[in-house]
Structure 1
């Protein structure tokens, strides 16, 4: 590919001659043809091809190439996280790049981004966006600052009999299968002499009964699961459930919860970072974290 072909003359049927181009190369391929071919590649491959030459670089910036990589609801995403911008003033490639970055909304309590390789929508909700029983009573709960959270703080439970955390989201997801995970840790994170430490002194009660996770959507999808909290001192993702968007026609309403409401014993030492919502195909990676 790209090799030159050198020929100075060719013979007509009547014995005459005519000149042929002395060399053909990649630069001779029409840009719209290159752009059409690029639609079949993923975003990272397109960026790699853009470095081949100037023609490929120009072709890689075509709006129709990057619009094919954006989710169908990208206009609502732009309005939600980038404001009421004039979409005609920025290229689709710029929109894709902006949406692949962390984009906070709802007062900084939620974050949405596109998976850079596939263009699929992922979302993270902070613990500050949840309804947590007793959150206003400092005897039970505190928000503590930490660099281990995307939101720079987590909800920390010191001790309580009744633990219930409820989250609700209304969001326009593209068609697909999605999974929801709570990101939790047993133990209070901090730093000492520049090194990470995790105080486990208040961790208790979680080995007696499992935590119950629930998920429901306005269109009738439901999920219920239970799990014992594991691995003190390390963040872990706990699967809440899955939901399906079959015919996206606007925002989907989702409600989920975490509860351990057996009042025969107290529970403590739990950190709640937030909830991850991602395409189900990514869920195996989270389960291993």
Structure 2
């Protein structure tokens, strides 16, 4: 006995995008059911209509089926005047955001002697920012959990690069924190890999580095977009709407540093 196609579509809508694609190989009935708008609308974020209104230079009418729209949104799209990037994860349909440097709170970023805002050809955003020189560095980003997928473990990353003129970024670990509501977790991270660390003042710096770097801090890893990322922390979204505050700071050494290039902070479902 075979189930009607609409029943199969309803069943598939309760699975995952990955499972629906796999089931399309079972039979012609499953293949047809797996193409249904009933299935793919369930996989789209519940607020996808509102998100479409926030798109920059994109027309959702170009994607006549919900499946086509789903896979279109699996690639990053600009929203909110180009200050954020949004996408959904292909396998799960979970939401991810990249907050541009302009969307972050960066101490003294409006002072040209400390920071330089510029167009970057390898960035999806109109501009990024490079650290000219500073002794006190604070970077903060925030997002509400209602913008993310509910009941999901997330990781936060600083998306960055190190310029050729960099110095002072390897003197001590940077402090990181992720706060959700009144819950906060702290950590440390290195913004440059040990093989990239500058060799200036080797004799005086080597001893200090051995003391301040225990060796287990997160270090940057390469992304497929040409940037690197450093993990800032993790958090979990429940059912309630709460504000998530994410930060990277180096404020205790009072030594000059330069060459940190920032694209933004990404919040994505934990691997």
Q: Shorter-chain-normalised TM-score: which range?
A: 0.7 to 0.9
Instruction: Spell out the pairing of 1:14-29 with structure 2 (5 A cutoff).
Output: none
Aligned to 1:212: 175
State the distance in 1 between where 2:237 and 2:19 align.
28
Shift in alpha-carbon separation, 1:107–1:152, aligned structure 2, 3 A: closer
Distance 2:32 2:9 in 1: 9
Q: Which has the higher helix share?
A: 2
Q: Does 1:264 align with 2:254?
A: yes
Contact 2:82–2:126 under 8 Å retained in 1: no
Pairs within 5 Å for 1:62-77: 62-77=36-51
TM-score normalized with structure 2 length:
0.73
Q: Unpaired segments of 5 or more residues in structure 1?
A: 1-27, 188-199, 283-289
Corresponding position: 1:243 with 2:218: no
Q: Distance in 1 between matches of 2:250 and 2:60?
A: 47
Task: Specify the structure having the higher radius of gyration (Cα).
Answer: 1
More contact order relative to length (CA 8 Å, sep ≥ 6) = 2
Conserved 8 A contact 1:72-1:174: no
Distance 1:162 1:86, change over 3 A: closer
> How far apart are 1:279 and its partner, in Å?
0.8
Match of 1:21 in 2: none
State the partner residue of 2:130: 156
Which runs of 5 or more structure 2 residues have no equivalent in the other structure?
198-221
- 2:148 is matched with which residue: 173, 198, 206? 173
How large is the Cα RMSD of the aligned pairs?
A: 3.3
Q: Which residue of 1 aligns with 2:162?
A: 186
The 1:238/1:139 distance shift into structure 2, 3 A limit, reads: same
Residue deviations 1:225-247 (CA, integer Å, cap 9, x gap):
11222234964322222221121
Aligned counterparts of 1:127 and 1:150: Cα–Cα separation in 2:
11
**C-alpha contact 1:221 1:243 (8 A) present in aligned 2:** no
Task: Report the equivalent of 1:5.
Answer: none
- Describe the shift of the 1:61–1:215 C-alpha distance in structure 2 as closer, same or farther (beyond 3 A): same
**Residue of structure 2 in register with 1:141 after alignment:** 115
| Pair 227,54 (structure 1): closer, same or farther in 2 beyond 3 Å | closer
The CA deviation at 1:77 is 3.5
Change (3 A) 1:207 1:115: same
Query: How many residues in Structure 1 have an aligned counterpart in Structure 2?
Result: 237
Is the 2:56–2:78 Cα contact (8 Å) retained in structure 1? no
Asked if 1 retains the 8 angstrom alpha-carbon contact of 2:56 and 2:81, the reply is no
Following the alignment from structure 2 to structure 1, what is the Cα–Cα distance between the partners of residues 254 and 60? 58
- Look up the SS of the partner of 1:257 in the other structure: strand
* Distance across 1 between alignment mates of 2:187 and 2:256: 21
TM-score, structure 1 length as denominator? 0.69
The residue that corresponds to 1:17 in the other structure is: none
Query: Which residue of 1 is the match for residue 192 of structure 2?
Result: 230
In the TM superposition, residue 122 of structure 1 has moved relative to its aligned partner by 0.9
Distance in 1, Cα, partners of 2:239 & 2:12 = 28
Contact 2:54 2:79 in 1 (8 A): yes
